[in-house]
Structure 1
Amino acid sequence: MLRYLPLLLLLPSPALAQAAAGWGNVGQQDSAGFSWTDPLWPDFWMAWTPATLAVFVGIFSAILVIGLLEVFWLRDGLERKGVLGLTTTLGDRLFITLLGSAYIFLAWLGFVGQPIWTPLFIAIGWGIFVFWKV
């Protein structure tokens, strides 16, 4: 019987851990103000958060800027042959940048996880490399 005495000391620990961690507050909403992950329109079919909206606005803005550059300023499309041996225009380089950035973020999330600040800087470096050398 005495050998079970240490086990009795462990019995109240789950209840104390729940009280200390605040398990009673798990289901309650925390209204702390702005959040990058809260949906903009809760009843909409797609979960548009400020982060997803910023990504899509950035992509479409880049496409618009590249399109305007090719229409009004660089009529030949600024074709060149880079280190990959491809003849690319500004639109091609933008596509390669976006595709490579998506792979960088997916690989980072698959192998490392969050936070994703480091792959952001790697993707910016990738974009600079692509527009400079490809």
Structure 2
Amino acid sequence: MFANTLSNKWVETITLVTTLDLIVFEVDRIGFGIPMTKIDRIISSVFLGEDYSLTQNVDILDLHYHLTGESIVSPTSIVLWIDAHQQLAAIPIETVPVMVSVPLDRIRTLPSDFRQQDQLGIASHIAIITDDENTESTIFILAD
């Protein structure tokens, strides 16, 4: 009887993961996502103001510069996340990020030859998400 009680408690705590929660944002009309489990915090530039001390000792990944050749002059937000090297990194963005739950069957691993051609080398997966108007968007998920 004691074993059945433990077994039932264990079974009740099992939850099947069917979605991945991502923080999603755009850089130059390209969608990017970072798993919620990797997010440290998101800082509004209104809160940040001119005091960038919150981002000291953080590697800045300027995706906008890598994609367009120009840096963002006044970012709306800064996303702080734990990168593939387990270091704190920051991405300045012009849009307000949103959280999206993506079904796992809508996520695919990028082929290794594509990842090697990627100049940034940071996207590991791709996801197709659908918004409220049933418009599909491609999201590049940053590497684990």
Q: What TM-score does the superposition give when structure 1 sets the normalisation length?
A: 0.21
Q: What TM-score does the superposition give when structure 2 sets the normalisation length?
A: 0.20
Q: Which structure has greater strand proportion?
A: 2
Q: Which structure has greater helix proportion?
A: 1
- Using CA pairs under 8 Å that are at least 6 residues apart, name the structure with larger relative contact order, 1 or 2: 2
